[in-house]
A and B are shown apart, each in its own frame.
Chain A
Amino acid sequence: DGGITQSPKYLFRKEGQNVTLSCEQNLNHDAMYWYRQDPGQGLRLIYYSQIVNDFQKGDIAEGYSVSREKKESFPLTVTSAQKNPTAFYLCASSPGLVGYEQYFGPGTRLTVT
């Protein structure tokens, strides 16, 4: 059963701690993305990766880091430098960058207090 998974669904952290959100896909997609969604808002792109070992900053990359060591995995680390980390984080994958549909995971809701 192909798809994209994110874990955990809910995550709570204290301010000042780094936290890593997991994203895995078994769709054999080359491209992967991380978005952030705040209440009542649309999605904003944090990072994207076209292929393994390559990733680029999106519109709001400050305070975040990623890695793409395997095709199927694209973890996102929310660092203590991110000023407003509490949000709903969504991972997506796509067969390619342009002209393809994106498949989204179920999301991780991060709360930092």
Chain B
Amino acid sequence: DAKTTQPNSMESNEEEPVHLPCNHSTISGTDYIHWYRQLPSQGPEYVIHGLTSNVNNRMASLAIAEDRKSSTLILHRATLRDAAVYYCIAGGTSYGKLTFGQGTILTVHP
């Protein structure tokens, strides 16, 4: 898996959009970009993933740079339930293994 770099923490206000950045400059052409989030003492929750094109689902949007060296997870309207650690993973092509780094702690203020 490619090394990813994320900010240690970010803050947002409720009902505002949140843009969580991730750098993965050593990503290979077959590496997927995955985002998961995790609450304390719970298993990670899948958020979104993509390969080359931007992706949307009911939880979030994933914007992938044209050179694929970076991506941004977009939460369109943050809620208090979105407060979690967000992990960006670039890889998953080696038998599906996901290499979780330190992630970004997202705090959402009411």
Cβ of B87: which chain A residues have Cβ within 8 Å of it? 42
Interface pair B96/A107, CB less than 8 Å apart = no
Interface pair B103/A42, CB less than 8 Å apart = yes
Interface pair B101/A90, CB less than 8 Å apart = no
Cβ of B32: which chain A residues have Cβ within 8 Å of it? 98-99
Inter-chain contact total with CB atoms closer than 8 Å: 63
Minimal beta-carbon separation of B90 from chain A (angstroms): 13
Among residues of B, the one whose C-beta sits closest to the C-beta of A43 is B100
Bin chain A's interface residue count. 20 to 34
Residues from 61 to 109 in A contacting B, C-beta threshold 8 Å: 88, 90, 92, 94, 96-107, 109
- The CA-CA distance from A37 to B43 in the complex, in Å, is 10
Given contact pairs A48-B96, A98-B92, A98-B95, A106 touches B46 in the complex (Cβ within 8 A):
no
Among B43, B46, B98, B103, contact of A107 (Cβ-Cβ < 8 Å): B43
Cβ of A99: which chain B residues have Cβ within 8 Å of it? 32, 49, 51, 92-93
| Number of residues on chain B facing chain A (CB within 8 A) | 22
Instruction: Check A45 for interface membership: any CB of B closer than 8 A.
Output: yes
Cβ of A59: which chain B residues have Cβ within 8 Å of it? 97
- The CA-CA distance from A109 to B42 in the complex, in Å, is 10
Interface pair B43/A104, CB less than 8 Å apart = yes
Among B34, B92, B98, contact of A43 (Cβ-Cβ < 8 Å): B98
Cβ of A35: which chain B residues have Cβ within 8 Å of it? 100
Cβ of A94: which chain B residues have Cβ within 8 Å of it? 96
Residues from 38 to 96 in B contacting A, C-beta threshold 8 Å: 41-46, 49, 51, 87, 92-93, 95-96
Minimal beta-carbon separation of A104 from chain B (angstroms): 3
Interface pair A104/B44, CB less than 8 Å apart = yes
A-to-B contact residues, CB < 8 Å: 31, 33, 35, 37, 41-45, 48, 50, 56, 58-59, 88, 90, 92, 94, 96-107, 109
B-to-A contact residues, CB < 8 Å: 32, 34, 41-46, 49, 51, 87, 92-93, 95-103
Query: When A and B form their complex, which 8 residue pairs have the shortest distance between CB atoms, in order from nearest?
Result: A42-B100, A104-B43, A97-B96, A43-B100, A101-B46, A45-B97, A104-B44, A107-B43
